[in-house]
């Protein structure tokens, strides 16, 4: 296999991304993901170089991040929910077949992306959630083990000591002796559109989004996350929602999204990954498609902070 014009770089474009691309004859291999997680990108790209499909590559890259606990925002041991439990969301979509699989609020299984792939390949469903998603995973041969660690337990204890602030409740009528008050400290004049994250960094987002292009010209997209810290127990985030966390159309391109801790729920209302791919269908470049999709959210939520990566069917970024 002859390699021409090999590139592996990290650039800043709304967020830092990591990309590896290689021309093999007239065919292009490509792996790209949100945030500078080079080991995840390298795992995906190694899969492509070994002859793997785009789906193989996306699974390998996201799985690497899960195992490395990338910045504590992917995989086990991070982002405990309001009860102190760590749960995972993941999604994978195959552009060649338009098949997809996802898991939400997955408990006690460490490789969520692989369970999502199993849902895609071995069921007629698209999304499994909660305890029953775990039951399916065990039935499919995955090992059941706790996702909590000393670190996640300390994060939860510190949150309880801070009177459960910040949190995701709004005007909640219930009471809890351990966790008063059940509301976020919102200014009286603060509109709902302002109640989103103010700062983007590697520490306050919550998703790896990955796109791969294989030697057959097929695209795939995938996501994996342990979600927002102190999320209300039972929450399923944007990463597991097709069109929000990721989307691919084999004839057009693919997009994967990431949001800040409080903006993932905003992203689910707009399906930015799907919108970006449809923008490319209309003739926009990948960069233009991403920008327009994000702008559509910012028009309603001016303080929204999030990002998209977009790739055309031919591998343009």
Q: 12 in a domain, yes or no?
A: no
- Domain with 84, as residue range(s), is 27-150+203-254
State the Cα–Cα distance between residues 116 and 302, nearest whole angstrom: 33
238 among annotated binding-site residues: yes
306 among annotated binding-site residues: no
Domain count, the chain: 1
Q: 35 in a domain, yes or no?
A: yes
Q: 31 in a domain, yes or no?
A: yes
234 among annotated binding-site residues: no
The full DSSP string for 204-228 is SB--EEEEEE-TTS-EEEEEEE--S
110 among annotated binding-site residues: no
Is 123 among the catalytic positions?
no
State how far the alpha carbon of 161 is from the alpha carbons of 156, 180, 212, 229, 253, in Å.
Answer: 9, 11, 43, 15, 46
Nearest to residue 212, comparing CAs of 37, 69, 95?
Answer: 95
Q: 16 in a domain, yes or no?
A: no
Residue among 207, 223, 225, 285 flagged as catalytic = 207
How does pLDDT run along the chain (317 residues), one tens digit per residue?
333 233 333 332 345 566 676 766 668 899 999 888 899 999 999 999 999 999 999 999 999 999 999 888 999 999 999 999 999 999 999 999 999 999 999 999 999 999 999 999 999 999 999 999 999 999 999 999 999 999 999 999 999 999 888 888 887 776 666 676 665 555 444 555 454 444 344 454 568 999 999 999 999 999 999 999 999 999 999 999 999 999 999 999 999 998 765 688 999 999 999 999 999 999 999 999 999 999 999 999 998 888 899 999 999 99
Q: 263 in a domain, yes or no?
A: no
Strand partners, 67: none
Element at 113 (helix H, strand E):
helix 112-122
Location of structure tokens 């299984």: 109
Strand partners, 101: 92
Q: 216 in a domain, yes or no?
A: yes
Q: 299 in a domain, yes or no?
A: no
Q: Is 306 helix (H, G, I), strand (E, B) or coil?
A: strand
State the Cα–Cα distance between residues 60 and 53, nearest whole angstrom: 11
pTM: 0.88
Q: 177 in a domain, yes or no?
A: no
261 among annotated binding-site residues: yes
Q: Is 254 helix (H, G, I), strand (E, B) or coil?
A: strand
**How many distinct helices (H) and strands (E) make up the chain?**
8, 11
Contact between 90 and 210 under an 8 Å Cβ cutoff? The reply is no
């Amino acid at each position: 296999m002859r390699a021409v014009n090999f590139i592996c770089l990290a650039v800043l474009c709304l967020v830092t991304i990591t990309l590896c691309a290689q021309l093999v004859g007239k065919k292009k291999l490509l792996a790209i993901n949100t945030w500078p997680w080079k080991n995840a990108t390298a795992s995906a790209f190694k899969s492509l170089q070994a002859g793997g499909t785009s789906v193989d590559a996306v699974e390998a890259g996201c799985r690497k991040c899960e195992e490395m606990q990338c910045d504590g925002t992917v995989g086990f041991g991070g982002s405990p929910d309001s009860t102190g439990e760590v749960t995972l969301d993941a999604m994978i979509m195959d552009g060649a077949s338009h098949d997809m699989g996802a898991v939400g609020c997955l408990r006690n299984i460490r490789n969520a992306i692989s369970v999502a792939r199993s849902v895609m390949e071995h069921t007629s469903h698209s999304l499994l959630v909660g305890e029953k998603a775990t039951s399916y995973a065990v039935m499919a041969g995955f090992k059941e083990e706790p996702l909590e660690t000393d670190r996640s337990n300390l994060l939860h204890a510190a949150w309880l000591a801070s009177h459960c602030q910040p949190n995701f409740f709004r005007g909640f009528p219930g009471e809890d002796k351990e966790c008063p008050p059940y509301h976020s400290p919102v200014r009286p004049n603060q509109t709902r559109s302002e109640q989103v994250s103010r700062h983007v960094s590697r520490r306050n987002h919550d998703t790896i989004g990955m796109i791969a292009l294989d030697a057959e010209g097929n695209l795939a997209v995938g996501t994996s996350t342990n979600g927002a810290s102190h999320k209300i127990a039972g929450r399923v985030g944007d990463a597991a929602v097709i069109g929000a966390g990721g989307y691919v159309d084999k004839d057009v391109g693919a997009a994967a999204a990431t949001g800040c801790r409080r903006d993932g729920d905003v992203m689910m209302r707009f399906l930015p990954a799907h919108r970006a791919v449809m923008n490319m269908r209309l003739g926009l470049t990948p960069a233009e498609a991403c920008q327009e999709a994000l702008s559509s959210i910012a028009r309603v939520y001016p303080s929204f902070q999030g990002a998209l990566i977009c790739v055309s069917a031919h591998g343009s970024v």
